[in-house]
Amino acid sequence: MNQLDALKQYTTVVADTGDFKQMAAYQPRDATTNPSLILKAVQKPDYMPLLKDTVARFRGRPLDEQMDRLLVRFGCEILSIIPGRVSTEVDARLSFDTAASLARAQRLIELYRAEGIHSDRVLIKVAATWEGIAAAEQLQRLGIHTNLTLLFSFCQAVACGQARVQLISPFVGRIYDWYKKAAGAAWVEADHAGAADPGVQSVRQIYHYYKKFGITTEVMGASFRNLGQITALAGCDLLTISPDLLAGLAASEAPLTRALDASNPAGSDQAQLHYDEAGFRLALNEDAMATDKLAEGIRAFCADAARLDQLLLV
């Protein structure tokens, strides 16, 4: 049995890509997209017709509507391949606007419904800012399922659990990147591999906290840099994995065992927490890594959304 098949025994495998023609070989249940992945896909010859068709059909409509229609077009193509859910992201430029995020999410769901896609097959991705979490809480009450992304800190996870969002995507690789860069020449890779990886440790803490206190929000590790980070989280509810790492798992027959177990949550001394807005902002501010990576991630997604805008205007 290869590692990909072994992983599927313990964890729901999700494909992290906009390149839906690569998905079938790995048979993921779900798929995730973001502005950067869609931008990368539409610049490939195979996907340029989707962009051109969207522009031709909706030319003259507001640019934000054209963007959403392109995202939904990709989502529908993905859903024709996978049996589960696709995550589609609200424009990152709305990350600090609860009302605008709420409205944009509702429009995405309406566009999916117009294509015959039930809302249960869509997760609306929103950045895990205070405003994004507030929007997600309202969306959940409306029966719209959410995926809180750009999640780097424990306080973000706690607030998402309070809001009863459907799913969170704690980022493993970007946490690893920050600590490696901060350590500089003092970083010893072997000392921070597998279960000792700071990104892996972050997801494990969140996972065990949720299981200990019966928080039903799904935990989906994301943003991986190597296979060791993935195998160290075998047993997590879901893991969203890029095609190159899916290929690496499929090519390896190294042993893979469960690393996380919902029936045996660690960290029994962890008290349950609750954050109001002031407490959340202070806790996030105290976490230099999370503050840096959240801001950086939003900036990058905003830049790629602006680049998509320019392609739609051509």
Sole residue written with tokens 């999410």: 105
* Mean pLDDT, residues 36-49: 92
Q: What is the predicted pLDDT for the residue at 150?
A: 98
- Specify the long-range contacts of residues 140-148, CB closer than 8 Å, at least 24 apart: 140/164, 140/165, 140/166, 142/106, 143/119, 144/105, 144/106, 144/109, 144/119, 145/85, 145/119, 145/120, 146/105, 147/32, 147/87, 147/123, 147/220
Q: What is the predicted pLDDT for the residue at 272?
A: 95
The CATH architecture assigned to 3-313 reads Alpha-Beta Barrel (3.20)
pLDDT tens for 102-115 read: 999 999 999 999 99
- Answer whether 133's CB lies under 8 Å from 163's CB: yes
Select which of 8, 21, 125, 212 is catalytic: 125
Q: What is the predicted pLDDT for the residue at 157?
A: 98
Q: What is the predicted pLDDT for the residue at 268?
A: 63
Instruction: Using alpha carbons, list the distances in angstroms from residue 14 to 58, 139, 184, 234.
Output: 31, 23, 32, 13
Q: What is the predicted pLDDT for the residue at 177?
A: 98
* Predicted confidence band of residue 263 (pLDDT cuts 50, 70, 90): confident
- Answer whether 96's CB lies under 8 Å from 43's CB: no
- 15 forms beta bridges with 31, 241
The mean predicted confidence, pLDDT, of the chain is 96
Q: For residue 17, what are the contacts with CB-CB under 8 A and spacing of at least 6?
A: 23, 31, 33, 37, 41, 242, 243
Q: What is the predicted pLDDT for the residue at 308?
A: 94
* Mean pLDDT, residues 177-198: 97
Determine whether 21 is exposed, middle or buried from the number of CB atoms within 10 Å of its CB (0-12, 13-18, 19+): middle
Q: What is the predicted pLDDT for the residue at 35?
A: 85
pLDDT tens for 112-134 read: 999 999 999 999 999 999 999 99
**Catalytic-residue membership of 125:** yes
**C-alpha 168: how far from chain center:** 7
Q: What is the predicted pLDDT for the residue at 264?
A: 77
**C-alpha 73: how far from chain center:** 19
pLDDT tens for 208-255 read: 999 999 999 999 999 999 999 999 999 999 999 999 999 999 999 999
Q: What is the predicted pLDDT for the residue at 148?
A: 98
SS (H, E, C) the chain: CCHHHHHHCCCEEEEECCCHHHCHHHCCCEEECCHHHHHHHHCCCCCHHHHHHHHHHHCCCCHHHHHHHHHHHHHHHHHCCCCCCEEEECCHHHCCCHHHHHHHHHHHHHHHHHCCCCHHHEEEEEECCHHHHHHHHHHHHCCCCEEEEEECCHHHHHHHHHCCCCEEEEECHHHHHHHHHHHHHHCCHHHHCHHHCHHHHHHHHHHHHHHHCCCCCEEEEECCCCHHHHHCCCCCCEEEECHHHHHHHHHCCCCCCCCCCCCCCCCCCCCCCCCCHHHHHHHHHHCHHHHHHHHHHHHHHHHHHHHHHHHHHC
**Residue 42 tokens, joined:** 């539409």
Amino acid at 266: A
